[in-house]
Amino acid sequence: MCGIIGYIGEKDIQKVLTTGLKKLEYRGYDSVGIAVHNGDSVQVNKSKGRLEELHQQLDQHSFSGMLGIGHTRWATHGHPSDENSHPHTDANKDFAIVHNGIIENYLEIKRELIEKGYTFSSETDSEVISHLFYHLYDGDMVATIQQVVKRLKGAYALGIVSEHEPDRLYAVREASPLIIGTGEEEALISSDIPAVLDHTRDIYILEDGEMAILTKDDITLLQTSTGEQLSRDIFRVDWDVEQAEKNGYDHFMLKEIHEQPEALKKTTAGRVNQERKTVKFDELQWSRDRIEQWDKVTIVACGTAYHAGLIGKHVIEELTRIPVDVEVASEFRYRRPIVNEKTLVIVISQSGETADTLAALRQSQHLGANVLAITNVVGSSIAREADEVILTMAGPEIAVASTKAYTTQVLSFYLLGIYLAQIKQTITEDYRQQLLQSILDIPNQMEELLEHSAALRRYSESIKDASSLFFIGRGLDHAVALEGSLKLKEISYIHSEAYAAGELKHGTLALIEEGTPIIALITQEEVSEKMMGNIKEVKARGAQVLGVSMQGNMDILEYVDDGCYIPESLSLVTPLLTVVPLQLISYYTSLALGNDVDKPRNLAKSVTVE
Ligand code: M6R
């Protein structure tokens, strides 16, 4: 949700902190701030708004020192304001802290501290932490941290600077991600890896219940509650910093849309035997007996990942005949789900840190289920806690609107479905070969599709002033429609809904009037005649329809106002192609409206709060 950076070393501290924050802005960007220990005291500069605003202030009054922390915020407690921005300090500025997460019992602590005479300057939950440090400090920082965290309930990743210790940076993790970077005479903390890659590729991943003491020459990891020293292997990051930069594209989203063919190839690599057309997952040591034990699959995820799960349901049921439920994680975790040792639970999360999905994972394990995670981030909480992991190889996804993470998640479901079907022998060898060939053809077909985006740009211009828009489709097309609609809402702020086309006449048809834009997906051959009927229904009410169909499928231009064609493929596999024009329409509409495409309002990339 929020982004934390911290640095200790000889480099220009202000530059290190602000460039690190720039890389973390996707996690939240409604306010920003830094605190630097200048050798004598702790100086803080923070403000509502984006990093540019902080830069303007720092131009007037720059900071120097060897130790500092920074924060970019996505508001949860208290609206975006200068006061609510991090870092927070106690009244004496003896301690400065940056916090990611939510302190659930902050009101109780706040009341207690106010009674003791402390005054608060913000509405945040986080400010209690800086006052607690002042209140409980006894000269020993480790012991003080232990006392402070004993009082906190909830989720917290913390970066802490103490005025008493100009040569030490402290970090604590509980249910919110935090990594430590270790370089030559320097060390860093961060919520995410890209923010430290300019300095080092050597990372320690802090686990829940752990803290770290960083000096410029040394890192000490401790169990927070006991103070026991821990040893941990360094994790070496093997992807390039350029992969997390824009590489000439105007926006990360556009770059990431164009990276999809490559991301799909990487996700397939090593998992498909091209000659025999079989799937192998070295990471899954499942025997046929083990698979036969599972009488159902439950897929749990949020947002776009949930939409990938909907495709997963179609694919697994179609190929294996195992029944599959798909649930939104925030609902799943607060019901009494029917999940047990006979269930394979699949959690999907690009970031691997989504709080609701992580909670669903833990709950499922508690109920005895085997949990497989599909995630894009090695070392994320979900990757570490799941029983098995399928890594999507999308590379870092920076734009808040998820694109390449989605298509690699969908691809993982095709591979998993085929893998299970191979073992259970539920599909013929011929069909498996045909399916795999279609999957292997997708990256080139996607490249072809991406070359024809000019017409979609024109179409986006035509819908930019619409007050509402509908996506309709049947079967797999409906699942893709849901994703198209979310993408459009997220970055264009235009209201839109996705409907199973046959459902329209049960209520929603009342909303269709002269000029209402509708995007109709017609790639599923077995229901295409039915779709034509639904298109006629909306056309009769004055809707303007863009039809998205498969080349050579049928001449949709007889029925719709505009047409867009995806390359020919097997019906089951088309979602990987159909979603691309929808991603581009969202992108170009947002662009035409002058919105901040990569950082849409009110959202953040990584949702580590409930
Ligand atoms: O990191 P996750 O995949 O768990 O994130 C889940 C959702 O928050 C995410 O997919 C969100 O819906 C995207 N911003 C959509 O583009």
Q: Is the Cβ–Cβ distance between 127 and 77 less than 8 Å?
A: no
User: In testing the pocket of ligand 1, which one of 191, 253, 350, 485 has its CB within 8 Å of the most ligand atoms?
Assistant: 350
Cα(45) to ligand 1 centroid in Å equals: 31
Domain regions of the chain by residue span: 3-238, 252-450, 454-592
Beta strand 31-37 with 67-73: parallel, antiparallel or unpaired? antiparallel
Counting from 1 in the atom list of ligand 1, the atom nearest the Cα of 603 is 14
Pocket flag, ligand 1, residue 381 (CB < 6 Å): no
The pLDDT-based confidence of 242 (bands split at 50, 70, 90) is low
Distance CA 346, CA 386 (A): 9
Q: Report the run of H or E that residue 495 belongs to, with start and end.
A: strand 495-500
Q: What is the mean pLDDT of residues 211-230?
A: 97
Structure tokens at 527: 């229901």
What amino acid positions are annotated as catalytic residues?
2, 605
Does the C-beta of 438 come closer than 6 Å to ligand 1?
no
pLDDT value for 79 = 83
Which atom of ligand 1 has the smallest separation from the CA of 607? Answer: 8
pLDDT value of position 530: 92
**For the CA of 403, the nearest atom of ligand 1:** 16
Structure tokens at 377: 């981030």
AA identity, residue 553: N
Q: Is there an atom of ligand 1 within 6 Å of 186 CB?
A: no
Same fold, 252-450 and 454-592: yes
Asked whether 376 lines ligand 1 (CB < 6 A), one says no
pTM: 0.77
C-alpha triplet 498, 564, 268: angle, nearest 5°: 80
Q: Is the CB of 598 under 6 A from ligand 1?
A: no
Cα of 442 vs centre of ligand 1, distance in Å, is 23
Does the C-beta of 337 come closer than 6 Å to ligand 1?
no
Which residue stretches of 370-403 are H helix?
Answer: 381-385
Alpha carbon distance 118, 136 (integer Å): 13
**pLDDT given for residue 1 in this prediction:** 62
| Cα 496 to Cα 516: distance, rounded to the nearest angstrom | 11
Q: What class has domain 3-238? A: alpha beta
Region of 160 please: left (phi>0), alpha (psi -120 to 50) or beta: beta
Q: Is 402 in the pocket of ligand 1 (CB under 6 A)?
A: yes
Helix (H, G, I), strand (E, B) or coil at 192: coil
pLDDT digits (tens, 9 = 90+) for 338-387: 999 999 999 999 999 999 999 999 999 999 999 999 999 877 889 999 99
Q: What pLDDT score was predicted for residue 194?
A: 87
Ligand 1 mean position, distance from CA 487 (Å): 10
pLDDT digits (tens, 9 = 90+) for 438-457: 999 999 999 999 998 999 99
Sign of CA dihedral 395, 400, 406, 409: positive
Average model confidence (pLDDT) across the chain? 93
Using DSSP's 3-state secondary structure scheme, residue 422 falls into helix
- Determine what percent of the chain is predicted with pLDDT higher than 70: 98
CATH number, span 454-592: 3.40.50.10490
The answer on pLDDT for 555 being more than 80 is no
- Residue 276 three-state SS: coil
For residues 299 and 54, give the distance between their C-alpha atoms in angstroms, rounded to a whole number: 42
Give the distance from CA 19 to its chain's centroid: 21
Q: Which of 299, 347, 351, 398 to mutate to test the pocket of ligand 1 (most atoms within 8 A of CB)?
A: 351
- Please identify, by atom number, the ligand 1 atom nearest to the C-alpha of residue 375: 3
Top-confidence residue, 529 or 229: 229
Average pLDDT value for residue range 28-52: 90
Q: Which residue has the tokens 């890659």?
A: 197
Q: Does ligand 1 have an atom closer than 6 angstroms to the CB of 393?
A: no
305 lines ligand 1 (CB under 6 A): yes
Burial 571-604 (b: 16+ CB within 10 A, else e): bbbbbbbbbbbbbbbbbbbbbbeeeebbbbeebb
Q: How confident is the model at residue 422 (pLDDT cuts 50, 70, 90)?
A: very high
* Centroid of ligand 1 to alpha carbon of 86 (angstroms): 25
- pLDDT value for 196: 95
Among residues 319, 286, 316, the alpha carbon closest in space to that of 298 is found at: 316
> CATH 3.40.50.10490: does it fit domain 252-450?
yes
- DSSP characters for 194-219? GGGTTT-SEEEEPPTTEEEEE-SS-E
Q: Which of 1, 176, 251, 302 to mutate to test the pocket of ligand 1 (most atoms within 8 A of CB)?
A: 302
Q: For ligand 1, is residue 607 a contact (CB within 6 Å)?
A: yes
